[in-house]
Amino acid sequence: MRRLSRATAVVETDAGAARAAGELPPDLEARIAMLEASAAPGDFDRRSWFWMVLFGVVAPALLLIYVYRA
């Protein structure tokens, strides 16, 4: 948060002027700068994929086999 406040303080451009110039509003610019500077979090790790495959593929497949055989 302190880093964000510093970044916000550095970018003191008025938001309206920034928009007119095609730049990002200062707060948004600071956020994006922080996200770019830090290691971007990944999307899904192995455990996430396991749960997605289990509930999104395996379970429906088993249920469908039952439905279409019944």
Partner 1 sequence: MSQGALADESGWPMLPAERTWGGVRLTLTLATTAAATWCYLIGESVGNYLGFVKGAIALTAGCFIGMLLVLLAAGPACIRFGIDSVAATKPQFGTRGWVVPAVLQGVSIIGWNSLLIIFFAKSAVQLCIALGLWSQAARSAMLVPLLTTLACGIIFAALRRGAKGVSLVSNILFAHVFVGLWMLYLLVSHRWPELLAAQPALANPDRLWNSTTGVELGIGATLSWWPYIGAMIRMAPDGRTAVLPVMLGMCAPVPLLSLIGLAGVLVLKSSDPAEWLRTVGGPAYAIVSLAFVTAANFGTTTAGIYASAIGLRNFRALQQRSWTTLLLITITPVALVGIFIPELFFARFGNFLALIGVAFAPLCGIQIVDYFVLRRRRIDIRAIYSHGPGQPYAFWRGINPAAMLALAAGCCTYIALLDPLTYRSSRPYAYLTASLPGAAAAALVYLLAGALVIRAGRGGYRRG
With binding defined as CB under 8 A, does residue 6 bind partner 1?
no
Site for partner 1 in 31-60 (CB under 8 A): 31-32, 34-36, 38, 40-45, 47-48, 51-52, 55-57, 59-60
Q: How are the residues of the chain apportioned to helix, strand and coil, as percentages rounded to the nearest 5?
A: 75, 0, 25
Report the nearest approach of partner 1 to the CB of residue 14 (Å).
Answer: 11
Residue-wise over 25-44: b if at least 16 C-beta within 10 A, else e? bbeebbeebeeeeeeeeeee
Of the candidates 42, 40, 60, 64, the one whose C-alpha atom is nearest the C-alpha of residue 52 is 60
Please give the residue ranges that form the binding site for partner 1 (CB under 8 A).
1, 4-5, 8, 15-16, 19, 22, 24-25, 27-28, 31-32, 34-36, 38, 40-45, 47-48, 51-52, 55-57, 59-60, 63-64, 66-68, 70
